[in-house]
Amino acid sequence: PVCPMGNSTSRLYSALAKTLSSSAVSQHQDCLEQPDSAQLDPIDPKDLLEECQIVLQNRPPRFQRDFVDLKKNAASNHRPIRVMQWNILAQALGEGKDNFVHCPMEALKWEERKCLILEEILAYKPDILCLQEVDHYFDTFEPLLSRLGYQCTFFPKPWSPCLDVERNNGPDGCALFFLKDRFELINSANIRLTAMKLKTNQVAIAQTLKCNETGRLFCIAVTHLKARTGWERFRSAQGCDLLQNLKSITQGAKIPLIICGDFNAEPTEEVYREFSNSSLNLNSAYKLLSPDGQSEPPYTTWKIRPSGECRHTLDYIWYSQHALNVNSALGLLTEEQIGPNRLPSFNYPSDHLSLVCDFSFNQDPDRLL
């Protein structure tokens, strides 16, 4: 089944407006089936960005963030691969359970917040997009991003907390998107993470892709580990399970690997050490922004809840450090930009910052990992 949306700007705006309302799901049940995007009219990203900006005209402009060049005089003979990691904040949780006490409810209206999320994605033009807390996949992200040329995959949590919120839009989960003109899907795995041999409520998606330009294979994974203080050992077990799965998928690290996720864990936690010390030979890309290349950013999420201010580093982009180079990374928002009421806000749609990196393959493909 297909939900045609037209290709003129006015009809595009009409389509965008339809996706703004969660009621679109009940009105267009046939769209819940993953449509054949080849039958849908492509969208020009500039047109979609313009339509988002019309919706957002009464909001403050986007914050300016700059990429930091991290190349070490290593010339690459192929276009870099841009990877974006972002916990976008589930709409049901933002309006319900997360209780951002200094964020006006008006700032969380889906009609506008959705356009802020799209504007951020369109601004950085990722080749691969890894999202967590996606609860508007079928009525928003899949219909629009498939028409921008992405292949789309979604894996919801088995027992999403969104379902406990009145007037929810279904379960939240992880979503992975890649540009079909740059990559070919070789293998895809939806992983339900285990801890102490028990299946848990957290998930991951791992896909092996072939870069059309270089012919090189690599694996991209997205995950979202268990939240809350007191669950450190649980997160550690989930991380071990994910690493075991990825060792199998990458044939013991023969295939380069990029892992994006909200780990809900500071760098002091055991799960962080497991990834740092894994036989997969991983490094955390955002450490490279620090003066010594050894320290994570001071924060990737900053919010105020009834219990107080929460400023933590929880989000990471891990990569195979001998097979891949990090050419550049997007700088974080400053404290001044974030403002005293923290996130989310009228300026920024999530309580987590997006992370964006440009990767290139090591020029010696036979070099051991």
Which domains, from first to last, does the chain contain?
A: 79-364 (3.60.10.10)
Q: What is the pLDDT of residue 20?
A: 53
The phi-psi region of residue 255 (left if phi > 0; otherwise alpha if psi is between -120 and 50; otherwise beta) is beta
Q: What is the pLDDT of residue 365?
A: 52
CA 21, distance to chain mean position in Å, is: 22
> Which of 207, 210, 209 is CA-nearest to residue 189?
207
CB 108 within 8 A of CB 343: no
Q: What is the pLDDT of residue 40?
A: 76
Taking CA atoms, 351 is separated from 27, 88, 95, 103, in Å, by: 30, 8, 12, 10
CA dist 59 and 113 (Å) reads 10
CB 93 within 8 A of CB 352: no
Q: What is the pLDDT of residue 363?
A: 78
Question: What pLDDT, in 10s, does the model give residues 87-106?
Answer: 999 999 998 877 788 899 99
Residues 6+ apart with CB under 8 A from 250: 219, 256, 257, 280
Q: What is the pLDDT of residue 206?
A: 98
Q: Which band of pLDDT confidence, cut at 50, 70 and 90, is reported for residue 8?
A: very low
Q: Is the pLDDT of residue 5 over 50?
A: no
Question: What pLDDT, in 10s, does the model give residues 342-367?
Answer: 999 999 999 999 999 999 999 765 55
Other beta carbons within 10 angstroms of residue 299's beta carbon come to 20
Average pLDDT over residues 294-314: 94
Q: Which two tokens stand for residue 157?
A: 């949590």
CA dist 4 and 105 (Å) reads 33
> Which of 312, 332, 310, 352 is CA-nearest to residue 102?
310
Q: Which two tokens stand for residue 171?
A: 């379960």
Question: What pLDDT, in 10s, does the model give residues 12-50?
Answer: 555 566 555 444 443 333 333 455 545 678 999 999 999
Q: Which band of pLDDT confidence, cut at 50, 70 and 90, is reported for residue 77?
A: confident
Average pLDDT score, the chain: 89
Q: What is the pLDDT of residue 188?
A: 98
Q: Which band of pLDDT confidence, cut at 50, 70 and 90, is reported for residue 293?
A: very high
Question: What pLDDT, in 10s, does the model give residues 123-165?
Answer: 999 999 999 999 999 999 999 999 999 999 999 999 999 999 9
Q: What is the pLDDT of residue 236?
A: 98
Q: Which band of pLDDT confidence, cut at 50, 70 and 90, is reported for residue 74?
A: low
Lowest mean pLDDT among 13-17, 55-59, 277-281: 13-17
Other beta carbons within 10 angstroms of residue 365's beta carbon come to 11
Other beta carbons within 10 angstroms of residue 284's beta carbon come to 22
Average pLDDT over residues 39-63: 92
What's the burial of 102, exposed, middle or buried (CB within 10 Å: 0-12/13-18/19+)? middle
